[in-house]
Amino acid sequence: MHKKHRLNTFLSEFPLYKKFCAVEKFLRTEECYTNPLYLHGETFSYFCENEKEIKTFELEAPDYSLDFWGNMRGDTVPEEVLKENDVLDFTHHFVGKCKSCKNYHVDFLLHIWSDNPIPKDELNTFRQDDKGEYKPVDELNLNRANIYIEKVGVKPEPQITIDKNIQKYFDRETGNWYYKGIRCLSENFGIGSFAYFRRIIEKELIEILKEISELNSSDDKIKKLISEYSATTQIYSIYENIFPLLPKSLQALGDNPFKILYKQTSEGLHSLSEKECLERAENINLILKFVVKTLYEEKSEIQKIRKAIKKLK
Ligand SMILES: [Zn+2]
């Protein structure tokens, strides 16, 4: 069996030029994305500008395309989607329509390709292996292709949405860097995005920690640690030693989020590839969002309990 992945996460969330593995180890008998018609009817969640809400969308190939590809033989992979060496490679226009209002739509230009040649004949054939057993030829093929897909165009451009907690938490300057960092992420600009996130950590990490030290669920020693080391240049010692003093909700991560975030600012940007920067920026964003969210939750927990105590007094 090959592994075919549905395109919903890809269509809903992936930025431009980020590749998604749509099929692993292609087998000719299994249904897959070797023809634009196979993408027709895929559903995914997307923001409807008419209804201002996330709705279910359906991907459609345009009518001319349905006519053209629909008239092809069903048992072979069409020449039109293959390059000369039989590697899959085509770009096609699709329309995602909101199934709720049946009016709003988004245009996608999708590029689909494989890393190895695809057998043109879609019918399976059998051949003897070393032991004389008959097996499907694809199973004997050690270089079965993976099929990838990326967005090369989206219209209208997706809106950048900033996490609500983050928006409340940062000041104007950091909020601006954060927006630019996310914007770079949405266009798959790794180095740019990572640079913005590093600036945010350099400026905000100690501030976040100071706020955490004010929480009832934090150990009092955090404040001591901060004042001890803030005066020296050994600020990293704070992050190294903070873990057992953090609120349980942050300790639940199992790893020290402050140490990990701080480490991101110490390594030179020039030693990292575009792809590595992109991965790091994505992960920093996830950790940062989690830490800020936890901080807010802990704060509101305290407020709730204070209110409850007041009422009982
Ligand atoms: Zn709609």
Task: Dump the DSSP string for 175-206.
Answer: HHHHHHHHHHHHTT-HHHHHHHHHHHHHHHHH
Q: Which CATH number fits domain 164-312: 3.40.50.20, 1.20.120.330, 3.30.450.40, 1.20.120.1200?
A: 1.20.120.330
Angstrom distance (rounded) from CA 35 to CA 18: 21
Confidence of residue 309 (pLDDT cuts 50, 70, 90): confident
Distance 154 CA to ligand 1 centre (A): 17
At residue 64, what is the residue type? Y
Contact by Cβ (8 Å): 45, 8: yes
**What's the pLDDT score for residue 136?**
76
What pLDDT does residue 215 have? 83
Distance 39 CA to ligand 1 centre (A): 21
Chain mean position to CA 46: 15
pLDDT surpasses 80 at 138: no
Residues forming beta bridges with residue 136, ordered by sequence position: 126
Work out the average pLDDT over 89-105. 96
Beta bridge partners of 24: 3
How far apart, in whole angstroms, are the C-alpha atoms of residue 305 and residue 297? 12
Q: Which of 42-51, 63-72, 138-147 has the lowest mean pLDDT?
A: 138-147
Domain with CATH 1.20.120.330 in the chain: 164-312
* Residue 299 Cα to ligand 1 middle (Å): 37
- Over residues 62-96, the pLDDT tens digits come to 999 999 988 888 778 888 999 989 999 999 999 99
Q: Which residues surround ligand 1, an ion (CB under 5 A)?
A: 48, 50-51, 98, 100-101, 104
Confidence of residue 8 (pLDDT cuts 50, 70, 90): very high
- Taking the centre of ligand 1 as the mean of its atom positions, its distance from the CA of residue 286, in whole angstroms, is 29
51: pLDDT strictly greater than 90:
yes
101 Cα–ligand 1 center, Å: 4
The predicted structure's pLDDT at residue 301: 78
pLDDT for the residue 94: 97
- Please give the pLDDT value at position 5: 92
Mean pLDDT of 157-166: 84
Q: Which of 129-143, 203-217, 220-234, 280-294 has the highest mean pLDDT?
A: 280-294
Distance 156 CA to ligand 1 centre (A): 14
Check residues 56 and 131 and name the one with the higher pLDDT: 56
The answer on pLDDT for 302 being more than 80 is no
User: Would the pLDDT of 17 be above 80?
Assistant: yes
Average pLDDT estimate for 12-25: 92
- Calculate what percentage of the chain has a pLDDT beyond 70: 99
What pLDDT is recorded for position 59?
97
Q: Is residue 269 helix, strand or coil?
A: helix
Q: How far is the CA of 103 from the centre of ligand 1 (A)?
A: 6
pLDDT, residue 253, reads 85
pLDDT at 32: 85
Percent of the chain with pLDDT over 90: 48
pLDDT of residue 240: 86
Average pLDDT, the chain: 89
Q: What is the mean pLDDT of residues 248-253?
A: 87
